[in-house]
Amino acid sequence: MRKVIKLTYTLVIFILIDLTATIFWLANGLASEANPVMAYFLDISPLLFVIAKLGLSALGIWILYYFRKRFTSIIFQILLLLNLVYIVISIYHLYGVLFFLFN
């Protein structure tokens, strides 16, 4: 159970890193939103984008938390996968920073 909680906290950190980096890239006109759902919210308002990102992420995390005891193994695997996805996204953001700094 502790592994599930640790993975959840790690996921929240990665989500916040992604949100911060995305806002930076978008505010400086250096990127566009790749996720069509989030791009929809961004087209309406940057504030709505942030609210949607945090709200949808919180909803997903709450769902995983709600079912954590009944489906511990599956929830653990889902959290592992989500963390891996966000690691790749964070590496992509880091690559962008390095590219921006050295060009």
State the pLDDT at residue 10.
Answer: 96
**What's residue 53's pLDDT?**
96
Distances, alpha carbon 79 to alpha carbons 19, 39, 69, 88, in Å:
18, 24, 14, 14
Coil, helix or strand for 31? coil
Q: What is the pLDDT of residue 82?
A: 97
Tell me, what amino acid is at 37? V
Average pLDDT by stretches of 10, the chain with 103 residues: 90 95 91 91 94 97 92 94 96 91 86
| Amino acid symbol at 75 | I
Question: What pLDDT score was predicted for residue 1?
Answer: 73
> What per-residue confidence (pLDDT) applies to 2?
86
Q: What integer pLDDT is reported at residue 100 of this predicted model?
A: 85
For residue 5, the one-letter residue type is I
- Please tell me the distance from the alpha carbon of residue 89 to that of residue 21, in angstroms, as a whole number: 10
